[in-house]
Structure 1
Amino acid sequence: MAAVDLPAEISSLRSTYEAIRQVSDVDALRATVAELSEQAAAPDLWNDVEKAQQVTSRLSHTQAQLERLERMGARVDDLETLVEMADEADTEGDAATAAETRAEAERELAGLRAALGELEVRTLLSGEYDEREALVTVRAEAGGVDAADFAEMLLRMYLRWAERHGYKTEVMDTSYAEEAGIKSATVAVHAPYAYGTLSVEQGTHRLVRISPFDNQGRRQTSFAGVEVLPVTEETDHIDIPESDIRVDVFRSSGPGGQSVNTTDSAVRITHLPTGIVVSCQNEKSQLQNKAAALRVLQARLLVRAKEERQAELDALKGADSGSWGNQMRSYVLNPYQMVKDLRTEHEVGNPVPVFDGEIDDFLEAGIRWRRQRERVSA
């Protein structure tokens, strides 16, 4: 095995790190932390609980981003020191210490490569709404009960991914299927850049397996659709006149809970001009469910407006406006095991960790693929 050229690798890492610092604009991050710290110290901050939570959450994540950048620079410096120590031990004739220190440096090099790769991906999230929190909706499509079961598997996959990263989630609506699984579910992921990160999951997912619901043990192909929306903010100005919506109330359905099937607390809102329908049944009161459903409706109208603007631009440019998200990933459990992204070609041979939320490599590949497409079409 060829020896690793550690000085050359460190030089490459330092160049990557400096590029990330420049794109991340460390001075701007420090200014943002100072501004948010001042807002968080205001005595009347918690008079508006929702705004206070937004300020403190943004402050926490911005501080973490800044600390991560600065810590990464220190790690590059420490790696360089390790290599110098190995060289000194080699010069002094202490081959054992030199070899041990060099091995430690190579392990740290591998860790730094991965960590810088993650930071670099974050710099690619520069879209209009990429820094927003996300609303993820999973729907069963073709495939009957297998599709409903698959949709529930995908929902758990995203919840586990968020849990692994320490992101707070809020299941806003769940429509259960009759035999197993779900017809649809919407979950909010409360973390900065959740939309930019998860938006590459949008599209049709396909599962191939021996159906656990088929008495003859036949292989079944089923499909589930994933929609990812940015959470709306006060600056979006999405006005929805009461005359443009129809509000229907009904009893919540699904497993357990004291409020289930006892009151007409679930809310369904139909946006009459567009035909968009949203619902929420996971809150305890009708008012809370209506407010949550309106937030989802605002998010869908926000994305619809953006898509209409983009369609106008594409028409002017003569661009292909086909959806890139359809048929985006296959999960094969039989006759072999594999999960493969059909856009990026990224694949793994073990689906179990993927369904348990280990999807960061797929997300990173998708973000890089999307940025490359944007550069080509620009």
Structure 2
Amino acid sequence: MAGIEPEEQLKELGSTLAGIEQVLDLDGMRRDIAELREQSADPDLWNDQERAQSVTRRLSYLESELGKVEGLRQRLNDLPVMYGMAAEEGDEDVRKECDEELASLVKAIQALEVRTLMSGEYDSREALVTINAQAGGVDAADWAEQLQRMYLRWAERHGYPTEVYDTSYAEEAGIKSTTFTVKAPYAYGTLRGEHGTHRLVRISPFDNQGRRQTSFAGLDVVPVVEQSDHVEIDESELRIDVYRSSGPGGQGVNTTDSAVRITHIPSGIVVSCQNERSQLQNKATAMNVLQAKLLERKRQEEADKMSALRGEGTSSWGTQIRNYVLHPYQIVKDLRTGVEVGNPTAVLDGDIDDFIEAEIRWMRQQETAAS
């Protein structure tokens, strides 16, 4: 909107925000909030811990989203008044404040608009994220751990609860793999574009000759399964192993064989969970993770079949998607959208919203073009 007069910008923003309000259905959100508040006031709710946590998470999310939209609308309504006062008094300082507020509103409304682009079947789900170290030896294991921290910090910045189900630590440093959930509505729709290979270039801290090293880590994002999902799993096709939970350097988390690893023999999918004290709880969680991965596999097979019928190539985000270069220069660049940031430190500390918003728009364009 650069070069456009403030009055025109405000008019365009008002129209954009009105469209967002319509898509989000604010009246429907208010009804849902009222119903969830009523449920949360029921003293029997906490007899079912899982349902209670789901209700309170959903309520917190809707209240936050509604407050965000209403706050933007109020700011947008106030800004013409502020511009009018600045013009009447000829106050350049107030005018400058108005311009800064307008720029802030443009960014905030554009970010909110991204939420309306998430209309996929599973986009509203929570996300199950798996990170695996790939090529690069000890550097790749260290890189996988840095990526885990990046996504957990991103979730923390947004107030999204997370739960780490399993972490397999590497011998020298870093991790071989990790699986965790981001427990927020639309977490899957938000993060699904992060699926793929992430490449790091840096001077290796593990090389005594100080040579440059390229490392790779793979990210897998699938939607968390819900009760309405039907994924048929034949128990006879599972191999279930139990082992002792362990932390960095082999330090015991507990003294019982409570960790569970499940191998789905037909697909070769392996899932593990060691975050609970009980073997039964770990098995139940691991089964949920397996169901989520099989559901995503089924969804991808159906999408591939439809693409083949249309004579199209397979649509997949599972390729190298982003480069993180720390030497000889510093830049993080997304290979699909072209978005780049010259501050890798901030990105690795969880400041990845610019990448996520751009890839959501990019994926929507790809999906629209294919439909």
Classify the TM-score, shorter chain.
over 0.9
Matched, 1:277 2:287: no
Matched, 1:341 2:323: no
Which residue type is aligned with residue 12 of structure 1?
E
Which residue type is aligned with residue 311 of structure 2?
G
Which residue matches 1:313?
306
The answer as to whether partners of 1:173 and 1:186 remain within 8 angstroms in 2 is yes
Q: Distance in 1 between matches of 2:250 and 2:140?
A: 26
The answer as to whether partners of 2:134 and 2:217 remain within 8 angstroms in 1 is yes
Superposed CA offset, 1:250-299 (max 9, x none):
12222389853622111111123322111112222211211111111011
Q: Distance in 2 between matches of 1:177 and 1:263?
A: 21
The answer as to whether partners of 2:199 and 2:320 remain within 8 angstroms in 1 is yes
Which residue matches 1:102?
95
User: Where in structure 2 are the equivalents of 1:1-378 lying within 5 Å?
Assistant: 5-89=5-89, 95=90, 98-255=91-248, 260=253, 262-378=255-371
TM-score normalised by L of structure 1: 0.93
The answer as to whether partners of 1:278 and 1:293 remain within 8 angstroms in 2 is yes
Q: Distance in 2 between matches of 1:56 and 1:355?
A: 30
Q: Distance in 1 between matches of 2:177 and 2:48?
A: 33
The answer as to whether partners of 2:133 and 2:216 remain within 8 angstroms in 1 is yes
Shift of 1:202: 0.5
Q: Distance in 2 between matches of 1:337 and 1:104?
A: 33
Alpha-carbon RMSD across the aligned residues, in angstroms, is 1.8
Give ranges in structure 1 of 5+ residues lacking alignment. Answer: 90-94
Superposed CA offset, 1:44-64 (max 9, x none):
322212112111211121122
Over 3 Å counting, the alpha-carbon distance change for 1:322 and 1:118 in structure 2 is closer
Which residue type is aligned with residue 161 of structure 1?
W
2:16 partner SS:
helix
Q: Distance in 2 between matches of 1:4 and 1:200?
A: 32
The answer as to whether partners of 2:304 and 2:315 remain within 8 angstroms in 1 is no
Give ranges in structure 2 of 5+ residues lacking alignment. Answer: none
1:136 partner SS:
strand
Runs of 4+ in structure 1 deviating by more than 6 angstroms, as ranges, are none
2:168 partner SS:
strand
Q: Distance in 1 between matches of 2:304 and 2:181?
A: 27
Superposed CA offset, 1:138-184 (max 9, x none):
10001111111111111111111111111111111001111111100
Shift of 1:135: 1.1
Q: Distance in 1 between matches of 2:162 and 2:269?
A: 24
2:147 partner SS:
helix
Q: Distance in 2 between matches of 1:138 and 1:361?
A: 21
Q: Distance in 2 between matches of 1:211 and 1:257?
A: 24
Which residue matches 1:92?
none
Q: Distance in 1 between matches of 2:315 and 2:35?
A: 42
Report which of the two structures shows the higher radius of gyration computed on alpha carbons: 1
The answer as to whether partners of 2:171 and 2:249 remain within 8 angstroms in 1 is no
The answer as to whether partners of 1:26 and 1:66 remain within 8 angstroms in 2 is yes
Over 3 Å counting, the alpha-carbon distance change for 1:203 and 1:3 in structure 2 is closer
2:248 partner SS:
coil
Shift of 1:240: 2.7
Shift of 1:3: 7.9
Q: Distance in 1 between matches of 2:313 and 2:30?
A: 41
The answer as to whether partners of 2:193 and 2:317 remain within 8 angstroms in 1 is no
Shift of 1:375: 1.3
